[in-house]
Amino acid sequence: MDIIAQYTPFMQNSENTPTRWWRFPLFHALTLILIGGGLRLGLMKAYAPEGMSLGTRLLTVLSGTWVDIVTASLVVMPLAVWCAFRRRPWTGLARTLLIGAVSLAWVVQAFLFISEGFFFDEFLSRFNTVAIDYLIYPTEVVTNLWESYPLVRIVLACMALAAGMTVLSLRKAPPESAGSPRRWLRVLSWPAVAAVLTATLWVRPGVVNRERVVNELATNGAVSGLTAAWTRNLAYDVFYATLPRDEAYQVARGVLGRNGGEFTGPPAPPVPPGGPDEAWWDAARASLQRRIPGDPAKPKLNVCVLLEESLGSEFFGCLGRVTKKGKPDTLTPRMDQLVKAEALLFDHMYADGNRTIRGFEAVFSSFPPLPGDSILARDRTENVETLGRVLKRDGYETLFLYGGHGTFDFIKSYVVPNGWDRLIEQSDFQNPVFTTAWGVSDEDLYGRGIEEMRKLHGTGKPFLVSFMTVSNHLPFTYPTGRIKEDPEAHSRKHAVKYTDWAIGDFFEKVKKEPFWNDTIFVVVADHGARVYGSQTIPLKSYEIPFMVLGPAVVPAPRRVSVLGCQLDVTPTILGLLGRPYESMFFGRDLLADNTGPGRVMMHHNRSIGIYEPERLVVFGLNQQVSAWQGGLKGDALAPLEALDASAEAASRTGKALFRIADDLYLQRRYRVIPTSQNSPIQTSP
C-alpha cells in the first residue's frame, strides 16, 4: 500500500487554505535533537571526568542541547525549504524523491551518530582534524573500518533506522503542500530562523569548563568537524594571540640562541613602514640561522631512525607502566631489555601532536606544530629544512622506507623533495609476509631496510635510513606465530607486543651486520596511542619513548631525564655525530650543556601550546590564552585562573616561536642557506 497515500491528508480545498507544511521538517529536527541528546548522555555516562559535578553536568547538557538545536535547524533546512515551496500534493515523482531523500539522509545521519560514538571512544573527542584528514584517504580508511568494526551490521542498522524514521515521520507528521499565498515568506522563514540560531554560536562561551573532555561533551560532531575543516588554514595573527613581528623576532632570537651555536647573521632589521618585503624576509630568515660547532675530522657515522606508529610511553615497563593494582608491568619486554643492557634512554620526552604527520614535521624538521594543518599537508613544503638536508650537505646517501602508500598523509611529497634520495613504499614490496589496511608489517619493513643498509654500506658512503611503521594501528593485526596472542583479537595491547617483537628482531639482526659498529640507531614514536587527560592539551598522553643504540655512541646503558620533545630529536642526533652544521631548527641537543631547562611545543585539534617547567600555556582560537601549573609526571597539572609571572614568560616565548614559525613557512624561508665557514659570527641576541 502507498505509504504517503495512507498517511498524508492531501489538501482537497483551495490553495489559499493555510497549511502546516512545517510539521514534517520540524519532526525530523526534533528527532535529531533527541538522538543527539541521547548520544551525549551516553558519552557522559561512559567518559565524563571523575568528580564531574551535577552543576557541570547540567550546564554541559544545556549547552550541548543548544548546539544540537542549531545543528538540527541547519541539517533540516533543505527539507524545510522544499516543503515550504511545494504547492501541489505530494504525489508521483515528488513523492518518490521525498521518500528517497529522507531515507538516504537518515542513513547518513545514523552512520555519523554511530561513528561519533566509536570516534569518541578512540580519541575522547568529537570529530576533529583527524576525522577530516581521514576523509582524504577513503581506501585506507574504509579498509581499516572493515577490518576493525562490524561494518555490515552497522550499515544494516543505519538502513533499518532510516526506514523506521521515514515511516514514522509520514505517520505522525505527514507532509502537506504549502499553498500559494505568502509563499516566499514561508520559503525564507526557516532559513531566517536557522541563521539567527547559528549566529548565537558566535556569542556562546568558548568553553563550558576547564576540562577538555567536558567541552567535547558539550558540543556535537557536526559543529566540531566543520570547525576543524574550516580551521585547517588560518591567518595565524588574526586568530591566535601573538606578539608584534619586530618583538617576536627579537624574542625568538634570544630563545633559539640558547639552543646552541652562534648566529651567522645580525638581528632582523625593523619591519618597513609598508610591511615586510622580500629583502626583509631574507634578513629575518638569516637572523635566525645558526652555526652549530663540531669537529669536521669526526667520522661520518651512519644514522638509522625508526619512527614508530602510536608507541606511547604508557606501554613500557622501563618508563613506569604498572597494573591497576600498581604492580610493575610491561608490553615491551624486548625494548625494556635493550634499555637495560645497552641503550641511551630519554625518559622525559613528549610528542608535539597526536598525528603521524605531526611526528614527521617535529622529528625530521624540528618544526613547531602550527594550528590547522601540518606542514606536510600544506602547499609550501617543497623546500624545508630536514635531517635529510643536513646530512645530504655533508655527503650522506639517504633513504626513507614507509610501510604504506607514499601518498598517504603527504609523506612522499614531504620526503622526496626534502633531502631523501629515495622512498620505498608499500608498492615496492613484492611478496610481503603480512599486510593490513595501512600497509606491510613491521618485519617486512625492517627486513627490506636491513637489505638496503647492507647495500649502502657496501658503497663506502655514509647513509641516513629512516623508517615509518604502520603495524601498531587499528585494526591491530599482525602475522601469526610471532607472539603468543591471537591477532584476530584486534587488541591494541597485542599490536604493541608485536611491535616490540619486531624491534627486538630487527636489533638481533643488525648486530650481525658490518654496519652495526658505525651506525647510530634511534627509536622514537610518532605520537602516543590515544588522547586522555583533562587539560585542553593533555600532555600526559603525549609522553613517548626516545632511545639511542649503537656502540659508536652508546658504550654503556644510560638514562637522561632532561625535559624534551620531538623537536629535539634531530639536533640530538646531530650532536651525537659531533660534526659542524648550520641550522634553522627549533629544537636543541638534549645532551649539550647549558641549553636551559627544556620546553615542549605541542598541538591538539585547534589548540597549540608550550610547556616550560611547571607551566603549560595554551593558545586557542579567537586569541584565547589559558594556563596550567604543575609537573608532567603523574598528570598533576591544574588550571591557573590567571597567568602568573612564570606563565607570562612561557606565553611570551610561545607567542614568538609560533609566530615566526608561521612566517618562515608561509614565506618559504624555513631552510638553511649555507654560508662560508669564514663568514663573521654574530653572538648578540
Q: Note the pLDDT tens digit of each residue in 312-327.
A: 999 999 999 998 888 9
User: Following DSSP, what letter does each residue of 362-412 receive, concatenated?
Assistant: HHHH-----SSS-GGGSS--SS---HHHHHHHTT-EEEEEESS-TTGGGHH
Residue 171 sits in the same domain as residue 301: no
* 176 assigned to some structural domain: yes
Residue 221 near residue 125, CB atoms below 8 Å: no
User: CA torsion angle for 212, 217, 219, 221 (degrees, to 10)?
Assistant: 100
pTM over 0.95: no
- With cell 650522506, the residue in question is 396
Residue 684: which pLDDT band, with cuts at 50, 70 and 90? very low
Residue 584 CA from chain centroid, whole number:
23
pLDDT per residue as tens digits for the range 13-29: 334 444 687 888 999 99
Confidence of residue 1 (pLDDT cuts 50, 70, 90): very low
Q: Is the pLDDT of residue 337 over 70?
A: yes
pLDDT of residue 3 exceeding 70 = no
Cβ burial 462-481 (10 Å sphere, 16+ → b, else e):
bbbbbbbbbbbbbbbbbbee
Tell me whether residue 594 is exposed, middle or buried, using C-beta atoms within 10 angstroms of its C-beta: 0 to 12, 13 to 18, 19 or more.
exposed
More confident of the two residues 136 and 92? 92
In a domain? residue 111: yes
Please tell me the predicted confidence (pLDDT) of residue 211: 73
Portion of the chain with pLDDT greater than 90, in percent: 61
- Measured distance CA(537)–CA(608) in Å, rounded: 8
Per-residue confidence band for 565, with pLDDT thresholds at 50, 70 and 90: very high
C-alpha span between 350 and 567 (Å, rounded): 9
Alpha-carbon gap, residue 587 to 599, rounded angstroms: 9
For CA atoms 414, 417, 418, 424, the dihedral sign is positive
Q: Are residues 197 and 325 in the same domain?
A: no
Residue 249 belongs to some domain of the structure: yes
The torsion angles phi and psi of 274, rounded to 5 degrees, stand at -85, 5
Q: Phi/psi of residue 521, each to 5°?
A: -105, 130
Q: Kindly tell me if the per-residue pLDDT of 134 is higher than 70.
A: no
519 secondary structure, DSSP code: E
* pLDDT tens-digit series, residues 447-485: 999 999 999 999 999 999 999 999 998 889 999 999 999
Nearest residue to 288 (alpha-carbon basis) of 660, 658, 575: 660
Q: pLDDT at position 16, please?
A: 44
78 pLDDT more than 70: yes
pLDDT of residue 371: 87
Q: Are residues 184 and 41 in the same domain?
A: yes
Average pLDDT over every residue of 580-586: 96
DSSP annotation of 1: -
Which of 113-122, 177-186, 373-382, 515-524 has the lowest average pLDDT? 177-186
Question: 465 pairs with which residues across the strands?
Answer: 304, 399
The model's confidence at residue 88, banded by pLDDT at 50, 70 and 90, is confident
When pLDDT is cut at 50, 70 and 90, the band that residue 188 belongs to is: confident
Question: Do both 176 and 286 map to the same domain?
Answer: no
**Does residue 580 share a domain with residue 480?**
yes
Decide if 684 is inside a domain: no
Structurally, the chain folds into a number of domains equal to: 2
Confidence band, pLDDT 50/70/90 cuts, at residue 209: low
Residue 75 has pLDDT above 80, yes or no: yes
C-alpha distances out from residue 619 to 33, 274, 580, Å: 32, 28, 35
Higher pLDDT among residues 538 and 292, named by residue: 292
Rounded average pLDDT over 193-204: 78
pLDDT at residue 223, as a whole number? 87
Residue 203 has pLDDT above 60, yes or no: no
What pLDDT does 29 receive?
A: 94
> Do residue 535 and residue 413 come from a single domain?
yes
Contact between residue 619 and residue 370 where contact means Cβ atoms under 8 Å apart: no
Report d(CA 205, CA 191) in Å as an integer: 24
Reference 399, options 461, 311, 344, 441; nearest CA is: 461
Helix, strand, coil share of the chain (percent; to 5): 50, 15, 40
For the cut 70, the answer to whether the pLDDT of residue 406 exceeds it is yes
463-468 vs 397-402, strand pairing mode: parallel
114-131 confidence digits (pLDDT tens): 989 888 887 778 887 667
- Residue among 470, 473, 501 nearest 485 (CA): 501
CB 396 within 8 A of CB 456: no
* Domain match, 295 and 163 both: no
Residue 239, in any domain of the structure: no
- Position 124 scores a pLDDT of 77
**CA-based nearest residue to 365, from 605, 586, 572:** 586
Domain boundary, last residue among 183, 202, 230: 230
pLDDT for residue 35 is more than 70: yes
Note down the domain range covering 156. Answer: 3-230
Taking 80 as the threshold, does the pLDDT of residue 202 lie above it?
Answer: no
**Quick one: 205 and 261 in the same domain?**
no
Q: Mean pLDDT over all residues of the chain? A: 88
Say which CATH number the domain at 599 has: 3.40.720.10
Residues 122 and 217 in one domain: yes
Q: What's the one-letter identity of residue 557?
A: P
- One domain for residues 116 and 261: no
Q: What is the model's pLDDT at position 458?
A: 97
Looking at the fold, whether 398 and 270 belong to one and the same domain comes out as yes
User: Is there a domain that residue 268 lies in?
Assistant: yes
Angle at 447 between CA 441 and CA 452, to 5 degrees: 125
Query: Does the residue 240 lie in any domain?
Result: no
| Cβ–Cβ < 8 Å for 635, 540 | yes
Pairwise CA distance, residues 374 & 279, whole Å: 27
Residue 149 resides in a domain: yes
> Residues, the chain, total?
685
Mean pLDDT of all residues in 409-437? 95
Band (234; pLDDT cuts 50, 70, 90) = low
Q: Are residues 402 and 277 part of one domain?
A: yes
The residue among 186, 207, 230 that closes a domain is 230
Q: Residue 156 has which C-alpha cell? A: 544494516
Per-residue pLDDT, averaged over 563-583, amounts to 97
pLDDT at 7: 45
What's the confidence (pLDDT) of residue 532?
Answer: 55
pLDDT recorded at residue 595: 65
Is residue 402's pLDDT more than 90? yes
